[in-house]
């Protein structure tokens, strides 16, 4: 997963909180000239530079070059900044090209190259190099830290997650697909907005790489105490551990390799793995046997993948708080999808809850996601 794909996912996760990330994403993935002006202006450390970037935007992109005072102001700025004749000549020729193109300014690579050249004189934060096609992941993530004020530990864990597991052995791209992220954000935002208490012990069934728990800890931390994430696939343990490392350390998250069809939801005896890394990829694994506390909430966002769904559903105790998702995605080649539904009403009828707290549909590009929250 390259930086262009990562910024798309990070903008999905944090774009509402940090709108500048949406401009970074557009600059990187749509080569949007206006977005380059916005991200450079955002990083300016003084008001004069920020004002000049705005002036350049108006002259070069908004077609306000008929205002001679404005145009001369741009030229005077560069002349007074000590640029030699050769540099000034290049600046002038570049501006002429942009002015000539402003009426029909496109995302042409040469136009973007010219925009980046002019803006490089004001790029205090180094954003242009940090979001370039050949930027290192280190420089890219360091830039993200400046935007978020290092206030999002999940971004740091996501960096390790990608570096460790972006290989053919793992389905990293699928776990961070746009549909997966939006579906999980929908769940987390819903329980947070409902102020729904999930109780002391949450079971996440078919927890895969732990993306949902990571988002729950980040955004709905006061809705629950502990999460046990169950998956039948042993290869899911290390990715889930990496994304949720802080909460593994404090005992609030456990990766549990177990078939969810074998859970009894009373006193489940499981083997838990712990991973201690000596560097990025070298690690020591230790295992211990534990008994999980009975769940107060059961979550399954992968109901479409559950073979013999009725057997699993019947094993969950009556009156259990459940949060379940399914979808109507059938045009694919994934033979593990065995239990889709056509709409949320069909899903609700299959579950037949005694109390429904929420039922809804999220429309995604290729399919609809259905979610139901309530008591069994």
Residues 196 and 314 in one domain: yes
What is the average pLDDT value for the chain, to the nearest integer?
88
Within-domain flag for 245:
yes
Tens-place pLDDT, residues 134-148: 889 899 999 999 998
How deeply is 89 buried, as exposed, middle or buried, from its count of CB atoms within 10 A (0-12, 13-18, 19+)? Answer: exposed
Provide the CATH number for the domain around residue 274: 3.40.50.150
What is the CB-side half-sphere exposure of residue 12 using CA atoms within 13 A? 17
Residue 65, pLDDT > 60, answer no
Q: Which pair of structure tokens corresponds to residue 366?
A: 């290729």
Within-domain flag for 180:
yes
What's the total number of domains in the chain? Answer: 2
Q: What percent of the chain has pLDDT over 70?
A: 86
Residues 11 and 86 in one domain: yes
Residues 131 and 190 in one domain: no
Residue 168, pLDDT > 70, answer yes
Residues 248 and 312 in one domain: yes
* Total length of the chain: 376
358 contacts: CB under 8 Å, gap ≥ 6: 190, 194, 371, 372, 373, 374
Residue 102, pLDDT > 80, answer no
Largest CA-CA distance found in the chain, in angstroms, rounded: 81
Within-domain flag for 156:
no
Unique residue bearing structure tokens 């977005």: 35
Torsion of CA 175, 179, 181, 187, to 10 degrees: -120
Tens-place pLDDT, residues 298-316: 999 999 888 899 999 999 9
Residues 83 and 230 in one domain: no
Residues 207 and 349 in one domain: yes
Within-domain flag for 168:
no
Task: Please state the rounded mean pLDDT for residues 20-24.
Answer: 96
Going from the C-alpha of 307 to that of each of 55, 203, 264, 334, the distances in angstroms are: 61, 19, 17, 13
Residue 283, pLDDT > 70, answer yes
Domain boundary pick from 148, 166, 201: 148
pLDDT recorded at residue 350 = 95
Within-domain flag for 200:
yes
Residues 208 and 131 in one domain: no
Tens-place pLDDT, residues 244-253: 999 998 989 9
pLDDT recorded at residue 103 = 47
Residues 64 and 211 in one domain: no
Residues 250 and 290 in one domain: yes
Cα 34 → chain centroid: 24
Residues 138 and 276 in one domain: no
| Residues spanned by the domain of 334 | 174-375
Residues 139 and 197 in one domain: no
Domain boundary pick from 103, 130, 148: 148
pLDDT recorded at residue 122 = 82
Task: Please state the rounded mean pLDDT for residues 22-38.
Answer: 92
Within-domain flag for 153:
no
pLDDT recorded at residue 312 = 95
Query: What crossing angle do the helices spanning 47-60 and 33-43 adopt, rounded to 10°?
Result: 170
Residues 232 and 371 in one domain: yes
- Residue 196 to residue 90: CA distance in whole angstroms: 60
pLDDT recorded at residue 109 = 78
- For the ranges 102-106, 293-297, 312-316, the lowest mean pLDDT is seen at 102-106
Within-domain flag for 157:
no
pLDDT-based confidence at 54, cuts 50/70/90?
confident
């Amino acid at each position: 997963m390259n930086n262009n794909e990562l910024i798309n996912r990070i903008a999905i996760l944090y774009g509402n909180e940090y709108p500048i990330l949406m401009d970074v994403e557009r600059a990187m993935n749509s080569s949007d000239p206006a977005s380059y002006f916005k991200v450079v202006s955002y990083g300016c450390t003084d008001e004069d530079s920020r004002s000049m970037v705005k002036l350049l935007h108006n002259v070069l992109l908004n077609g306000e070059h008929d205002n001679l005072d404005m145009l001369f102001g741009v030229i005077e700025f560069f002349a007074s900044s000590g640029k030699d004749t050769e540099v000034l000549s290049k600046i002038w020729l570049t501006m002429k090209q942009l002015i000539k193109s402003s009426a029909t300014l496109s995302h042409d690579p040469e136009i973007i190259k010219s925009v980046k050249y002019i803006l490089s004189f004001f790029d205090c934060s180094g954003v242009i190099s940090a979001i370039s096609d050949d930027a290192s992941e280190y420089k890219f993530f360091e830039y993200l830290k400046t935007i978020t004020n290092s206030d999002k530990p999940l971004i740091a864990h996501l960096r390790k997650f990608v570096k460790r597991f972006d290989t053919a052995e793992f389905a990293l791209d699928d776990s961070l697909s746009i549909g997966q992220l939006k579906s999980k954000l929908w769940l987390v935002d819903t329980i947070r907005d409902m102020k729904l208490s999930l109780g002391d012990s949450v079971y996440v069934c078919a927890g895969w790489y732990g993306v949902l728990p990571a988002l729950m800890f980040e955004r709905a931390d006061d809705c629950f105490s502990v999460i046990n994430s169950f998956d039948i696939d042993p290869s899911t343990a290390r990715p889930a551990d990496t994304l949720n490392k802080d909460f593994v350390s404090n005992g609030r998250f456990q990766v549990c390799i177990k078939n969810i069809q074998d859970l009894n939801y009373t006193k489940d005896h499981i083997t838990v793995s712990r991973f201690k890394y000596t560097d990025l990829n070298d690690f020591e694994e230790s295992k211990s046997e534990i008994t999980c506390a009975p769940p107060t909430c059961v979550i399954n966002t992968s109901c479409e993948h559950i073979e013999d769904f009725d057997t699993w559903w019947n094993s969950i105790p009556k009156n259990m708080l459940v949060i379940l998702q399914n979808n109507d995605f059938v045009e694919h080649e994934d033979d593990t999808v065995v239990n889709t539904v056509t709409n949320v009403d069909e899903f609700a009828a299959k579950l037949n809850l005694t109390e429904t707290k929420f039922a809804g549909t999220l429309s995604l590009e290729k399919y609809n996601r259905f979610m139901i929250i309530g008591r069994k």
